[in-house]
Amino acid sequence: MRILSFLVSLATTILLAYFLSNPIKIDPKVTIPPIGSFFSPFTGFWQNALSVDNFTNKKIKLPNCTQNVKIKIDDRMVPHIFAKNDHDLMYAQGYVTALNRLWQMDIATRAVSGRLSEILGTRTLNIDRTNRRKGFVFAAENALEEWKKDPKIYKQLETYAQGINDYIANLESKDYPIEFKLLNYKPEPWTPLKTALFVISMAQTLASQEFDLENSNALKLFGESDFNELYPDRNPKETPIITAGTKWDYIKETPLIPSQTVSSPVGDLFGVPRDVTEDPHVGSNNWTVSGAKTLDGFPILCNDPHLHLTLPSIWFEIQLNAPGINSYGVSLPGIPGVIIGFNDDIAWGITNTGWDVLDWYQIKWSNESKSSYILDGKPLQVNYRTERIVVRDSLAYIDSVKYTIWGPVVYEDHKNPKYGLAMRWLVHNVHTPDEMSSFFDLNRAHNFDQYYSATNKYCAPAQNIVFASHEGDIALRILGKMPARAKGEGKFVLDGSISSNGWKNTVPNSDNPMVKNPATNYICSANQITTTEDFPIYYGGSFDDYRGRYINRRLSEMDSIKIEDMMKLQADPYSILAEDALPVLMKNIDTTSLTVAEKAIYNDLKLWDYKFKADETAPTCFKMWWDTFSKTTWDEMFSIADSIPVTIPENWRTIDLLNNKPDYKYFDIKNTPVKETGKDIANLSFRKMCAQFADFSKDKSNGGGLWSNFKNTTIEHLGKIPAFGRKHIQVDGFKDAINATTEFNGPSWRMVVQLSQPVRAYGIYPGGQSGNPASKYYDNMIEKWTNGQLDELLFLKSDEESDKFICTLELTN
């Protein structure tokens, strides 16, 4: 009996302890971490609150620090690293980045390398499979192979990794960032390959946009003459980055490209499912004005890159100081150096170029096993690359990806088993040994010449890098290796059976478009088209129409510019899309037949100033109206989008057609017996919008239909854990306004730098320096960012004292 009661007690205790020590799967998407260790205040989430915002001076002994390094933390929690040599500087940057953003660094490289399933199980297997098939790891490995050839730079990457790894080595499981505890896994060592993967993931975000399948389908469905009418290459109202009249006589090295015609496959439509309404919304603004236009006579440089807004934020602010370098700005957790920033003499900022560097090739299999394909009439064996995807709580998944001369076969055409689609991406193998020294040198540059030679080494993803110096120069270069294309190449799916059907060379940076000290005294890039049509090298891509035009307009009007004016401009919610579209829509409305409620909305819109302000209703009405109008007009494309991707004409073209060709045949709604015109669609979509708005504003939680409620800007947690994100941010802005906030995207860092001496710099991002959700520095900057305010940045010339510092970490050997 006593033995029995002991055994019962023992069994209960062990069973319960076992139950509390293992994750519990509630449904395929929700797994609860082991309750015992997660709730234990000694090991679990409570530990992440231990001394989180308690800043005290510390001495930390680290094995690979060669001399003493001081990391001073200021009251915005920005680390200012003062090192005595480059090695220690990189090492300390790795260390302090890991200290604040360790989990983010892990997850950021996991997605791109197709390793999510290792921690999340079968539910992410398809994402991993697609990412493996697109050859992202292949690209990173190619980059690394090249980087190893330049030992000096490679050593920097290793040192950076060592800083991260020495931080990890000192951790016990109770110190792990909370996400590791929630998802029940451990941090792993950092490697230069992971830095390469991070670069590739940025390229995936910024340099993989194309509409090849969509364009090919549109051409087949609508014919060539309609295609040219629906999708013109250039918007006549555009304001290119490099203004008209620029001489191209500096272009020397690009080989002459034969004016051959590129051939596209004929036959079936491509039925590869892609979400045509998906708009990545990644864009950015940068501009600079010369001293001639500013009040104090110094150039001012501004930058706000728009990216998917997340917590932790993609950016980490830092100052780097060692002999030969004193730079400040934002870094990407995973890449050494400052990416957007300034030093004592220069400032630089980046926006995405948008050139098309990803092409699809139709592969014709030469046998049923698909082990070879036809090239120039002969069969050629594919290369296999084995992808082993480890899946948590399940068997590993093995995928054999076929590589052609163009690249990996990503999609098989199941409707037509004779064909496959291979992806040719510049970023797969464009890398050079000194690619990574581009930012290394830029951080240390002091004038235009040094900026020029530093950026010459830049490879991918292609960016518009704007520059201003204390000496008074302003400039902008389009940077990144670009394919030397034949005219029109890359617009449609290409025939993969002809080896001459694609670029053979890349354009060197020295031949890319650039502008220096223009007569206008300002330069602006906002993802608009790069040049006027006379630029001698062909390029295609997707470009933004509205922000660039507005910034150009404002900068040309402004004079005696102050820092505050630039901050205000960065937060400007005015949109030329609304300015162009609304009057054209309004003049078509038959006001005599409107109900009282409709008339009220009509009048509201009539008075609207085209500013997408958070607390107004007119922007909501306009956005609802425009979306409905566009969807109804282009019903030919939207109705089949689920199975066959087709390009949607651009907004400016839609406005243009309504204004100048209201009887255009595409205005007719296909599945109605009557023949509609643009006027009909405008009226019909207006009434639909009124009903939709009434419905939306009825809901009490929508504040009567306010724009911010409709837009619903959300900053998601990187792992999509809702409690770690921020919802319903009441912020101004619109995709086509300078203040480009949307539901999930927006200005991810705002910076204004005046090149005086000392430099005066301001910055803010919608997040916080700490990656720990228990810290008040996790999301402390969101409030100011929402209001369009920027913080003054503490930039010191040397290791001096400041009352802004809250503690010092001293790294010693």
Partner 1 sequence: MKNLITIIVISAACLLVQQYLPWWTALIVIALFSALMKIKPSKASLFGSFILGTMWLFYAMYLNFTNNGIIANRIGELFKGLSPAQLISFTGFLGVLMGGLSGLTGSLFVKAMIKGK
Q: Which residues sit at the interface with partner 1, rule CB under 8 A?
A: 2-3, 5-6, 9-10, 12-13, 16-17, 20-21, 35-37, 39-52, 54, 172, 178, 182, 721-724, 773-776, 778
Q: How far is the CB of 602 from partner 1 (least distance, A)?
A: 42
The residues, ordered by sequence, that sit 6+ positions from 104 with a Cβ below 8 Å of its Cβ are: 312, 333, 718, 771
- Our CB check for partner 1 shows the closer of 47 and 216 to be 47
Distances (CA, A) of 813 to 65, 84, 141, 170: 5, 13, 33, 15
Helical packing angle, 86-112 and 136-147, nearest 10°:
160
- Our CB check for partner 1 shows the closer of 46 and 538 to be 46
CA nearest 751: which of 349, 366, 356? 349
- Our CB check for partner 1 shows the closer of 40 and 532 to be 40
- Our CB check for partner 1 shows the closer of 16 and 600 to be 16
Q: How far is the CB of 173 from partner 1 (least distance, A)?
A: 8
Distance CA 423, CA 401 (A): 12
Q: In what order do the strands lie in the sheet with 463-469?
A: 58-61, 805-812, 69-74, 79-82, 316-322, 325-331, 340-343, 346-352, 463-469, 474-479, 514-516
Do residues 308 and 574 make contact, with C-beta atoms less than 8 angstroms apart? no
Show the tokens assigned to 542.
């997707």
Q: How far is the CB of 22 from partner 1 (least distance, A)?
A: 11
- Our CB check for partner 1 shows the closer of 353 and 772 to be 772
Q: How far is the CB of 478 from partner 1 (least distance, A)?
A: 43
- Our CB check for partner 1 shows the closer of 36 and 662 to be 36
Do residues 437 and 157 make contact, with C-beta atoms less than 8 angstroms apart? no
Q: How far is the CB of 50 from partner 1 (least distance, A)?
A: 6
The residues, ordered by sequence, that sit 6+ positions from 151 with a Cβ below 8 Å of its Cβ are: none
- Our CB check for partner 1 shows the closer of 47 and 527 to be 47
- Our CB check for partner 1 shows the closer of 79 and 773 to be 773
Q: How far is the CB of 4 from partner 1 (least distance, A)?
A: 8
Question: 308 - beta bridge partners?
Answer: 745
Give the CB-side neighbour count of residue 288, counting CA atoms within 13 A.
32
Q: What single string gives the DSSP state of each residue in 455-490?
A: HTT--SS-EEEEEEETTS-EEEEEES-EE-BPTTTT
- Our CB check for partner 1 shows the closer of 13 and 394 to be 13
- Our CB check for partner 1 shows the closer of 398 and 723 to be 723
Torsion sign, CA atoms 185, 191, 192, 193 = negative
- Our CB check for partner 1 shows the closer of 537 and 774 to be 774
Q: How far is the CB of 54 from partner 1 (least distance, A)?
A: 8
CA nearest 753: which of 337, 470, 332? 470
Q: How far is the CB of 34 from partner 1 (least distance, A)?
A: 9
Backbone angles phi, psi at 325, to 5 degrees: -145, 135
If 0-12 CB within 10 Å is exposed, 13-18 middle and 19+ buried, where does residue 593 land? Answer: exposed
Residue 41 neighbours by CB distance under 10 Å: 11
Size of the chain in residues: 813
Q: How far is the CB of 122 from partner 1 (least distance, A)?
A: 23
- Our CB check for partner 1 shows the closer of 40 and 542 to be 40
Residue 236, Ramachandran bin (φ over 0: left; ψ between -120 and 50: alpha; else beta):
alpha
Q: How far is the CB of 52 from partner 1 (least distance, A)?
A: 6
Give the CB-side neighbour count of residue 173, counting CA atoms within 13 A.
13
- Give rounded-to-5 percent helix, strand, coil for the chain: 35, 20, 45
- Our CB check for partner 1 shows the closer of 37 and 162 to be 37
Do the bridges between strand 378-381 and strand 340-343 make them parallel or antiparallel, or are there none, so unpaired?
Answer: unpaired
Which H or E run includes 93?
Answer: helix 86-112
Q: How far is the CB of 803 from partner 1 (least distance, A)?
A: 25
Torsion sign, CA atoms 795, 781, 288, 243 = positive
Q: How far is the CB of 700 from partner 1 (least distance, A)?
A: 21
Distance CA 759, CA 469 (A): 10
Torsion sign, CA atoms 517, 518, 524, 527 = negative
Q: How far is the CB of 40 from partner 1 (least distance, A)?
A: 4
- Our CB check for partner 1 shows the closer of 6 and 384 to be 6
Which amino acid does the sequence have at 528? Q
Do residues 629 and 685 make contact, with C-beta atoms less than 8 angstroms apart? yes
Distance CA 204, CA 109 (A): 12
Q: How far is the CB of 104 from partner 1 (least distance, A)?
A: 16
Do residues 546 and 520 make contact, with C-beta atoms less than 8 angstroms apart? no
Which amino acid does the sequence have at 433? P
- Our CB check for partner 1 shows the closer of 7 and 244 to be 7
Q: How far is the CB of 392 from partner 1 (least distance, A)?
A: 20
Which H or E run includes 813?
Answer: none
Alpha carbon dihedral 797, 799, 801, 806, in 10-degree steps, equals 110
- Our CB check for partner 1 shows the closer of 37 and 443 to be 37
